[in-house]
Amino acid sequence: MGNQAGLNERIRHFYDRSTAIWLDTWGEHMHHGYYGPDGKEEKDHRQAQTDLITEFLQWGHVQNPARILDAGCGVGGSARFLARVLNAEVLGLTLSPVQAERATFFNQQAGLGERVRVEVQDVLQLKVDQGPFDLIWSLESAEHMPEKRRLLQVFYDTLRPGGTLLMATWCHRETPPAIMEKERNLMQKIEHYYHLPPMISLGEYEQMAGETGFQEVKTADWTNSVAPFWPAVVRSAVTWHSLAGLLRAGWPTLRGAWAMQFMMRGYRSGALRFGVLHAKKPNL
């Protein structure tokens, strides 16, 4: 518990400090963009980010969820998008009070204050009576959470029977062959700079989801589709305006910016993967 409290505190601090600069240079979506199946489509980053959400919804065959949990919601970019396109009510959870405060402001500004609520809460502490949800959406947040098996159990317990889990997360490549020392060093750098517990493979998530009781578990590797994202972030960071913002944001954000090179190296080498998972809680 002590370790987890320490990890959550570091995550909170990282997002509290880096959210303003991200909002300033990139906007409300704090996740990769989708650049076509082979990553070759050229597009504006905002378009790429909303395309990722649309592709993910299509891939997951999501239909008319009335109540959605956005587990690890940032400033609520996905939460508002989902509320609009699916006409749903959304609860978003983040560890960062700064993000929750910004999200609440944006929800009201968008006229969604009644339907989208963002709170500061650890997803792993979610209570059954906060559900049930028809859809649980976890976009680039599960990699921050230790105890993946417990996370899947929490999702299972708070989904309505027949409800859907959609998770997109950073993973290490499948094994065997075993992860080599060079790969492990690289993954450890990514984990260190972005405050992640040790990553697992997509295959491990898939197996755990099945063991938790989920059905219709399917996964896909979207690494090629999202890999152009980091070079785009680096290009946008190398402007005087962004560099000044980086300096103002302070040490945790500078470290995060420094670590972008490890993300690119991770994708290039194949050690780091971007995985998506779909699973359904059986109808009882």
Ligand X SMILES: C[S@@+](CC[C@H](N)C(=O)[O-])C[C@H]1O[C@@H](n2cnc3c(N)ncnc32)[C@H](O)[C@@H]1O
Residue 57 within binding range of ligand X, rule CB under 6 A: no
CB of residue 81 to ligand X, shortest distance in Å? 10
State the number of binding residues for ligand X (CB under 6 A): 24
Omega of the bond leading into 37 within 30 degrees of 0 (cis): no
CB of residue 283 to ligand X, shortest distance in Å? 28
Identify the H or E element spanning 152: helix 148-158
CB of residue 151 to ligand X, shortest distance in Å? 8
115 neighbors 87 (Cβ within 8 angstroms): no
201 neighbors 266 (Cβ within 8 angstroms): no
SS3 string of 14-37? Answer: HHHHHHHHHHHHCCCCCCCCCCCC
Residue 191 within binding range of ligand X, rule CB under 6 A: no
Stretch of 36-44, 137-145, 217-225, 268-276 lying at the interface with ligand X (CB under 6 A): 137-145
SS3 string of 169-200? Answer: EEEECCCCCCCCHHHHHHHHHHHHHHCCCCCC
Q: For ligand X, which is the closer residue by CB, 106 or 214?
A: 106
- Structure-token match 């500004």, residue found: 109
Binding mask 72-101 for ligand X (x = CB under 6 A): xxx--xx--------------xxxx--x--
Considering only 11, 57, 199, 249, the residue that binds ligand X (CB under 6 A) is: 11
Q: For residue 104, how many C-alpha atoms fall within 13 Å in the half-sphere facing its CB?
A: 11
CB of residue 176 to ligand X, shortest distance in Å? 30
Binding site for ligand X (CB under 6 A): 8, 11, 15, 29-31, 72-74, 77-78, 93-96, 99, 122-124, 139-141, 144-145
